Structure formats: C-alpha cells, structure tokens
Chains A and B, each alone.
Chain A
Amino acid sequence: MHDPIHPDFSTYPAMTISELRQRFSEGTLTPAAVLQQLAGRISERDTRTGAYLSYQLDTALAEAERADLSLPLGGIPIAIKDNINTFGLPCSCGSKILAGNYRAPYDATVIRKLRAAGAIPFGRMNMDEFAMGSSTENSALQTTRNPHDPERIAGGSSGGSCAAVADGTAVVALGSDTGGSIRQPASHCGVTGLKPSYGRVSRFGLVAYASSLDQIGPVGTCVEDVARVLQAIAGHDPNDSTSLNAPVPDYLTTVNDGVKGLRLGLPKEYFGDGIDPGVRRLVEAAVAKLAAQGAEIVEISLPHTEFAVATYYVLAPAEASSNLSRFDGIRYGHRAAAPADIPDLYQRSREEGFGPEVKRRIILGTYVLSSGYYEAYYGRAQKVRTLIRRDFEQAFAGVDAILSPVAPTPARKLGGSSVDPLQEYLSDIFTLAPNLAGCCAISVPCGTTAFDGAAALPVGLQIIGPHLGEAMLLRVAKAAE
C-alpha cells in the first residue's frame, strides 16, 4: 500500500505554488530541479498509479530554462488532461482512435494563457475515453489507480490529473468537467478540484464531449493553488463564442475573507437515503465547521434534483453523438485498413477506434436525436434542464453558496463499471446538476472514512456557487479547508 500522500511532501521539494514561488525567488530551488524531482517521482511511483500517459522532460526543461519567474505561475509545472491540445504533443482523449496517430497542431487557449502566466505544461494525464466515465477505467490505454488504495478507482474522468496531484507527481493539473469529472476524482483522491461556471474558461482546444456542459478547471493540493490557476486561465476568448466577456476578479484578494455572515444552503434532496454513513458524517462535520466560523446554515430545496441524471444522460450523449461524428477516419485519427467503400471506412474506423462506453453514448445520443424521438427525449430534457436551472436561481436568491456531498460513497474497488452503466450513472447524482445549470462548483477534502474494507478513504465536500460566483466559492472553500 502507498504511504499516505496528501499532504505529505516529506521526500518532495515541491509544495504549493506560493511555497515554490518563495523558494524560486530565494534561489533555493529552480524550476528545472522541480521538474527533475517530478520525473524521478513519476518513475518511482507512477508505474503503480498510472496517472501519466506520457511526459517530455527535455522539452519542459528547455522551457524551465527560459521561465520568467516574475510571472504569477513562473516556472510552475502543470499536468494536463489528455483532451486539451498542447502544441506538438499527443492528445489521445484516452481513446485508441487518437492514440499514437495524432499530435496537437496548436495550443488550446488555456495552454496559451498558462504559458503567458509562466507555467510549464508537463505531462499528459490519463482519462476515461473522451471524458465519458466516473472511474478512469474507461480509458482504452491504461488504468489509473487511487494513490490512497491501489485496488480502488481514482474516479473520473479526470482520474489521471487528480491521482497525480494526490500522488505528489504533479504540483497542479488541469482537468475537464462535464458532469463531475473534476470534482468526483478530486473527492476520491483527496485533492481540491474546481469546475468553473459555464463560459468562465475558454473551451477552445478542449476536445468536445458535450459542448453545453464542458468546462476546463484546475486541480491542486489546496484552494489557493486552484485559485491561482483559475486566475491564469479564466477570461474571454474570441475563439470560443460561449466564453463570457465578463471581468475576472482577483480571486486571491478575497479568498481569505471567511464565511462570517454568509448564508450557506443545504439542499434536502442531497442528503437523503443512499449516502454512505461515513460520507454523511464527514460532510456534516464540514458544515458544522463552517457554522462555527460564523456562517448561517439554512435548509433549501432543489426540487428537480431527482431528474438530473435522466436529463444529463439524454443531453450529454446527444451532444456527444454529434461532436464525435468528426472521428470518421478521414482527416485525423484511426482509419480502418482496406475499406471497401466510404461507409465501410466510417463504420469500421469507428468500431475499431471507440471503446464500449463511447459506443453506448453515441447510440443513445443518436437515438434521442432521431426522427420521431427528438421531442419526446431531447426536447423534453432541454425543458427539464430549464427547471433545474431555475431551482438554482431561486436557491441563490436566498443563499451565497450550497453545500453537499460530491459522491454518495468514497472510491469503489476497480472493476465495477462495465456491467451496469446505469448504476454508475446514478452515482453522478450530486455533480451533474451544477453543469446543467451552468453554476461553478468545487470539491474540497473534508476527511477520510473507513469504507468497504478500506481503513481511510478521502471524502470531498462539494460547494456550489452561482454563475460566475467563483470568488465566493473559493472563499467558502478556503474556510472549509
């Protein structure tokens, strides 16, 4: 069993971003030394964890030589989920359809912004194929294990990003979150992960899964690191028409303002049956801690919560079936050998390239968009989405933020997702609705609990904020930390 990782960095010089910056400015540590340490730690630990798909030390060291340490993220390495295009590097999306045959021809906007802030992209992180899944077992390339217990899932789909931060093989990371794909693995791995509000961060260069739900967000060992990375990547981008032209506040100036006088809502629908008792106890303890700091805790209702899973699993597959039509074996990605004709080329390239979860969602999405079923499924789900969005708007008229569990249980054992996809989907219940509503949400570690034979597995507290409410969200998260 791994030694407990978080936040033990005793054998590891890299700490938080602010500590690294301090060491850089003192001259007692260099970005190159941090990269060398990370590479050593990856070769020592990641053979078991399996968070990294690849990394290029030489390229990163060359960037470290040029790093401008005066910049906000000067010389800080950041691990990147393998669905975010980074010039010249692979971008497999955890899929055979892109593995080994694709190199990014440009930088995603978030990568361009990170470079402008001085950061060094380092490492391509494993993920559920095309971000479809909650375990990272759906990666066609390798399994990522939970650093706290290698027989358990890291969560997903950003399992590689979160496991690496938990394992001390990355300082910070980027993930993407369509229905919980940053928050749920952050919860399972005991790290902090933020899904920004829809439109806060540009999606340009993120391989699209469900475009009306996807957001890129940061993962770190503490709230302040997550705030620093968000600061660098947030903002309007002419290349993404859904990115918002709204000012980006200085998150660090308010992150320590505390929760005294804030109203925090507990949605009664998020504390019903089906939550593991250990998770419930830790989340309730985190709520009590915020109350002790002067927050007023009020019970609220999000009445359409029970419909979030059904709504999501109509809309997300519908968008996915459309987005993934680009993988046709023509312009990029796997092409089947010796096709008889064009339809045969399409059909076999996709059959050979996609894994089972992706195929399931493409079929489901194609079905709900098909003639005769469109209005009954897709149209109706879009209307229920409006009701879910209104639930949150009404709730945020009375509270500053909402508190809930991230997932009903800690990390389950490996090997359970393929048999019953519906059961796996139902476990996403607490994380889907913020994506449907466009809210921001974060997972902050709130302790460990015994579960299913394991002595101590991490649990996350979910804090949900209103649209563009990241400053408030980070403030509450810092108080809960």
Chain B
Amino acid sequence: MPQPHIDVRYVANLARLALSEEEVAVFQGQLDAILGHVETLSQVDVSGIEPTAHPSPVFGPMRDDEPHTSLPASGLLQNAPDQAQDQVRVPKVVADA
C-alpha cells in the first residue's frame, strides 16, 4: 500500500471543494491518521477474492418499460437557487472571445 499521506488541497480540488488554510492544516493530520488505520487492510490476504460492490443478491434488474408521469418541472424548479423561463439559471460558462 502507498504511504499514508494525502495532498489535501490537491484532492479537495478534485472534489471541487474550496478549503481555508486552517481547514487544510486540521484535516491533514486527521486524514493521515485515518489512512494510517486503513493500512491495516494490507495485512489481509485478498488474493483470489472477488470484490463486493453491494450486499444484495440481485444484479442489474430491469423494470418494465412503461410510460408514467414524471414530477412536474415547477415543483423541481422551486428548489433551484436561481431560475428563469422554467429553467435553472447559472453564470455564463463560455468565456468571452
């Protein structure tokens, strides 16, 4: 297993999560300690063991493809932080030329 050390700011950026300097400092020690405990998994012989993604005995069930009514857009849009013309409004994504 790799050495237990997280580059907290780099990983937080992957998760699109801004952090204060103080948070980075606090999380660094805590996360390294947690990963240190996770290292115990390297003691387990897992050769030939299949992974478990979920404990259900059912895999990939399909439901009948029958039309049904969806939730009304108005009910869903009322939770949007900003909306206009029955759509979610967001800041401009495309940069100016």
Whether, in the assembled complex, A250 has its beta carbon less than 8 Å from a beta carbon of chain B, the answer is no
Evaluate contact between A238 and B91: CB separation under 8 angstroms. Answer: no
Least CB distance, B2 to chain A, in whole angstroms: 6
**Chain B residue with the shortest CB-CB distance to A372:** B2
The answer, among A331, A385, A426, for a CB contact under 8 Å with B80, is: A331
Given contacts A382-B51, A383-B51, whether A339 and B34 have CB atoms under 8 Å apart is: no
B:30-52 near A, CB below 8 Å:
30-31, 33-35, 37-44, 46, 49-52
The answer, among B13, B31, B63, for a CB contact under 8 Å with A364, is: B31
Given contacts A310-B38, A382-B51, A387-B44, whether A343 and B16 have CB atoms under 8 Å apart is: yes
Evaluate contact between A339 and B91: CB separation under 8 angstroms. Answer: yes
Q: Please name all residues of chain B whose beta carbon is closer than 8 Å to the beta carbon of A334 when the two chains form the complex.
A: 81
Whether, in the assembled complex, A286 has its beta carbon less than 8 Å from a beta carbon of chain B, the answer is no
> Chain B at the A interface: mostly helix, strand, loop or mixed?
loop
Chain B residues packing against A (C-beta within 8 Å):
1-2, 6, 8, 11-20, 23, 26-27, 30-31, 33-35, 37-44, 46, 49-58, 60-61, 63-64, 71, 75-76, 78-82, 88, 90-91, 93
Given contacts A106-B71, A331-B88, whether A212 and B18 have CB atoms under 8 Å apart is: no
Least CB distance, A439 to chain B, in whole angstroms: 8
Q: Please name all residues of chain A whose beta carbon is closer than 8 Å to the beta carbon of B30 when the two chains form the complex.
A: 360, 420-422
Whether, in the assembled complex, A335 has its beta carbon less than 8 Å from a beta carbon of chain B, the answer is yes
Whether, in the assembled complex, A33 has its beta carbon less than 8 Å from a beta carbon of chain B, the answer is no
A to B CB contacts below 8 Å, 24 in the list? A101-B81, A102-B79, A238-B63, A241-B60, A241-B63, A245-B61, A310-B40, A310-B41, A339-B91, A347-B16, A347-B18, A350-B18, A351-B18, A360-B31, A363-B31, A367-B11, A377-B38, A380-B1, A385-B51, A386-B51, A387-B44, A422-B30, A425-B37, A436-B55
A:305-349 near B, CB below 8 Å:
306-307, 309-311, 313-314, 321, 325, 328-335, 339, 341-343, 345-348
> Chain A at the B interface: mostly helix, strand, loop or mixed?
helix
Whether, in the assembled complex, A277 has its beta carbon less than 8 Å from a beta carbon of chain B, the answer is no
Q: Provide the bound-state CA to CA distance between A328 and B90, in Å.
A: 11
Evaluate contact between A351 and B19: CB separation under 8 angstroms. Answer: yes
Q: Please name all residues of chain A whose beta carbon is closer than 8 Å to the beta carbon of B78 when the two chains form the complex.
A: 103, 105
Whether, in the assembled complex, A359 has its beta carbon less than 8 Å from a beta carbon of chain B, the answer is yes
Evaluate contact between B82 and A335: CB separation under 8 angstroms. Answer: yes
Q: Please name all residues of chain A whose beta carbon is closer than 8 Å to the beta carbon of B80 when the two chains form the complex.
A: 330-332
**Chain B residue with the shortest CB-CB distance to A342:** B93
Q: Provide the bound-state CA to CA distance between A437 and B56, in Å.
A: 9
A:251-303 near B, CB below 8 Å:
none
Evaluate contact between A212 and B55: CB separation under 8 angstroms. Answer: yes
Q: Provide the bound-state CA to CA distance between A309 and B14, in Å.
A: 25
Least CB distance, B18 to chain A, in whole angstroms: 4
Evaluate contact between A244 and B56: CB separation under 8 angstroms. Answer: yes
Chain A residues packing against B (C-beta within 8 Å):
101-103, 105-106, 198-199, 211-212, 238, 241-242, 244-245, 304, 306-307, 309-311, 313-314, 321, 325, 328-335, 339, 341-343, 345-348, 350-351, 354, 356, 359-360, 362-364, 366-368, 370, 372-373, 376-377, 379-387, 389, 420-422, 425-426, 436-438, 467
Evaluate contact between A386 and B52: CB separation under 8 angstroms. Answer: yes
Q: Please name all residues of chain B whose beta carbon is closer than 8 Å to the beta carbon of A333 when the two chains form the complex.
A: 79, 81
Evaluate contact between B38 and A383: CB separation under 8 angstroms. Answer: no
Least CB distance, A473 to chain B, in whole angstroms: 16
Closest 8 CB pairs of A and B: A438-B55, A382-B51, A335-B81, A212-B54, A332-B79, A347-B18, A383-B46, A351-B18
The answer, among B1, B15, B52, for a CB contact under 8 Å with A376, is: B1
Evaluate contact between B49 and A383: CB separation under 8 angstroms. Answer: yes
Q: Provide the bound-state CA to CA distance between A345 and B35, in Å.
A: 30
Least CB distance, A455 to chain B, in whole angstroms: 34
Q: Please name all residues of chain B whose beta carbon is closer than 8 Å to the beta carbon of A387 when the two chains form the complex.
A: 44, 46, 49
Evaluate contact between B79 and A105: CB separation under 8 angstroms. Answer: yes
The answer, among A199, A359, A373, for a CB contact under 8 Å with B23, is: A359
**Chain B residue with the shortest CB-CB distance to A335:** B81
The answer, among B37, B38, B41, B55, for a CB contact under 8 Å with A198, is: B55
Least CB distance, A138 to chain B, in whole angstroms: 14
Least CB distance, B26 to chain A, in whole angstroms: 8
Evaluate contact between A309 and B37: CB separation under 8 angstroms. Answer: yes
**Chain B residue with the shortest CB-CB distance to A345:** B91
Evaluate contact between B17 and A347: CB separation under 8 angstroms. Answer: yes
Q: Provide the bound-state CA to CA distance between A194 and B89, in Å.
A: 43
Q: Provide the bound-state CA to CA distance between A356 and B61, in Å.
A: 37
Q: Provide the bound-state CA to CA distance between A347 and B63, in Å.
A: 37
The answer, among B15, B55, B63, B71, for a CB contact under 8 Å with A389, is: B55
Q: Provide the bound-state CA to CA distance between A341 and B57, in Å.
A: 45
